[in-house]
Structure 1
Amino acid sequence: MISLDKKIIIRVPATSTGIGAGINSIGIAFGLYYTVIVEEEMQHWQVNHALGDDVPNDENNIIVQTILKVDPTIKPHQLTVMSDVPIGRGLGSSTTAIVAGIKIANALGELDLSLDDEINIGSKIEGHADGVASALLGDITVSYFNGEMATTVKTKIPEVINALVYLTKDDGSDKAIYKNQVSSVDAVKASSATNVLVASLMSNEWTKATEMMENDAIYTDNIYEVVPELETIRKQAHELGIYGTFLNQSHRCVITFGTESELNQLRDRLNFGKLDGVMRLIKVDHSGATVRGE
């Protein structure tokens, strides 16, 4: 148990969703972190951060709102936030804040929530379980959420696997990347690909898993026109023998899995192209959210 006389430090990994056809069900945690230090009790909530003027620093902050949803009796504290998770870029910046709020409420309220409890609470807030589950557990998670209860399974990604994340140039538009209606043929293809993807992950058949990540049965037919970077990155990756490039569910980043050596080669190739976004080589987080006192 963490002493409430000490500062509490919460660290939550970034997440991504939309792997293959696993919409709202498959999530992954990455080694970019959202850290919150819980400091002294205050008269009013104070959230110190350098995340920009659009992020509230009072009780309207999403961390505080989450804390009070979990336990409305918790008294105001000063919170200090440090984050290298980009906001609004498809890497779970809001999810990390929600998970941090749940962890803080659990500590301050001495609620003794289990991980399953925390996943259920976060899933109800988010409306789906994928990002919350991967942020809490790390690695890749596969979840089902019926609106009340989430069922989640975690599986390990090989330690040598990293991710090259390409952040698309955000034009502020809400692009449609999935079909409005899916034919029975495409539905079967998507379901089959997701089943094989999950089975491959569980049996540690990484090559098969990465091939299934590229199944596009539910993407809109003109997906390469909507997000041309996806085609460019896949083409260059395939020429290097690298598979496992997918478009994040938010459409704001394209992610490719591979070893550090493979991804450095891919990044070098792409740097000579005409992509105008930002590329980052990051590790997979294998541990999920952590809580400690000091």
Structure 2
Amino acid sequence: MNMFSLSVPASSANIGPGFDSVGMALNRYLTLQVTRQEKWEFAQHSHLLPSFTDYEDHFIYQIAKQTANWHQKSLPACKVSIDSEIPLARGLGSSASAVIAGIELANQLCTLSLSSLDKLQLATEIEGHPDNVAASLVGGLVISVETDNVIDYCQVPDLDIDIVVYIPAVELKTEKSRKALPAYFSRKDATIASGISNLMIASLLKGDYELAGKMMEHDLFHEPYRADLIPHYHDLKQEAKQFGAYGTVISGAGPTMISFVPKGKGGTISKQMKTFLPHYQIEPLDIDHNGLRVEQEII
């Protein structure tokens, strides 16, 4: 009997001015154990996963079936055991990780032999933008863009920083967060915002994390419009800066926020910030550099 496992990392998107184009994989994971059997079965082992009534209603199954249908294939039945460390509706890419998992489930079960770019194209068509799915798929900090219905992406070399995340108990749906954004920007504002984003990326590549942090916090594309939706937005940024963070921004659509901090300081800053936000889940995380992982087993 064939068995395989999938592991997909969480992700943080936007990173300030990199709206819908910059994503970063983080070491929290959605994992699937898959075993062939005669009937479909989904077994969930985490309170962070959404409830479902029937396997056909399960989001990962729906993505897998959609992927198989696109390639004129039928999904063979199997048992899928799922665990997750990624909270829902918190800005850590729970939907993107599930999309990647569903696509890879179909890829393995139907022997589609999809390339990374094939998977990214499918995932972007489903998600609507490539930032989270690109990071979860290939790992690291990824810059991606869709032009003429084609996705191009580039992984930034390893960053010499630690990551701290601040996860509140409240949810914030992406739809609500997107409704807060303006429909248009003036040419002047778009030019400045684009320059800020460009300088942030250049600073990260150069290793000038002070300047990168400054640019992270000067976003004009989305953070000014979402700030009121995020608990403790201004105070959190100010406190993190006092404790030594380079920059603190909204993770994805929020309400989680994320700091870039000096290497080796993630644990210390996390503990210091817990005194300020005792009801938050605050922890240091690592950048995941592997992205989607598949392990095959014969039992």
TM-score, normalised to structure 1, is: 0.88
Contact 2:24 2:132 in 1 (8 A): yes
Q: 1:264 to 1:89 in 2, by over 3 A?
A: same
Measure the CA separation in 2 of the matches of 1:67 and 1:148: 22
Measure the CA separation in 2 of the matches of 1:147 and 1:79: 36
CA apart distance, 1:151: 0.9
Q: In structure 2, which of residues 241, 252, 256 is the aligned counterpart of residue 253 of structure 1? A: 256
Which of 268-277 and 113-122 deviates more?
268-277
Q: In structure 2, which of residues 60, 65, 80 is the aligned counterpart of residue 68 of structure 1? A: 65
Amino acid at match of 2:275: F
Query: What residue is the counterpart of 1:293 in the other structure?
Result: 296
Q: 1:78 to 1:279 in 2, by over 3 A?
A: same
Query: What residue is the counterpart of 1:161 in the other structure?
Result: 161
CA apart distance, 1:273: 2.2
Query: What residue is the counterpart of 1:35 in the other structure?
Result: 31
Query: What residue is the counterpart of 1:97 in the other structure?
Result: 98
Q: In structure 1, which of residues 264, 269, 290 is the aligned counterpart of residue 267 of structure 2? A: 264
CA apart distance, 1:259: 3.8
CA apart distance, 1:222: 6.8
Contact 2:75 2:110 in 1 (8 A): yes
Query: What residue is the counterpart of 1:210 in the other structure?
Result: 213
Measure the CA separation in 1 of the matches of 2:180 and 2:246: 20
Which of 122-131 and 240-249 deviates more?
240-249
Structure 2 gaps of 5+ residues are none
Cα RMSD (Å): 2.3
CA apart distance, 1:276: 3.2
SS at match of 1:24: strand
Contact 1:10 1:100 in 2 (8 A): yes
Contact 2:161 2:262 in 1 (8 A): yes
Amino acid at match of 1:8: F
CA apart distance, 1:271: 2.2
CA distances 1:94-125 after superposition (whole Å, capped 9, x unpaired): 11111011112111211111111110011111
Contact 1:157 1:201 in 2 (8 A): no
1:16 aligns with 2:20: no
SS at match of 1:210: helix
Structure 1 gaps of 5+ residues are none
Contact 2:241 2:247 in 1 (8 A): no
CA apart distance, 1:249: 2.7
Q: 1:186 to 1:200 in 2, by over 3 A?
A: same
Contact 2:3 2:34 in 1 (8 A): yes
Query: What residue is the counterpart of 1:47 in the other structure?
Result: 42
Percent of pairs with identical residues: 26
Q: 1:53 to 1:240 in 2, by over 3 A?
A: closer
Amino acid at match of 1:163: I
Amino acid at match of 1:64: Y
Contact 1:124 1:148 in 2 (8 A): no
CA distances 1:67-118 after superposition (whole Å, capped 9, x unpaired): 1111131212110001111122111111111101111211121111111111
Measure the CA separation in 2 of the matches of 1:120 and 1:283: 26
TM-score, normalised to structure 2, is: 0.87
Contact 1:35 1:82 in 2 (8 A): yes
Within 5 Å, which residues of 2 pair with 1:134-153?
Answer: 134-146=135-147, 148-153=149-154
Amino acid at match of 1:233: L
> What is the count of residue pairs matched by the alignment?
288
CA apart distance, 1:137: 0.7
CA apart distance, 1:141: 0.6
Q: 1:245 to 1:105 in 2, by over 3 A?
A: same
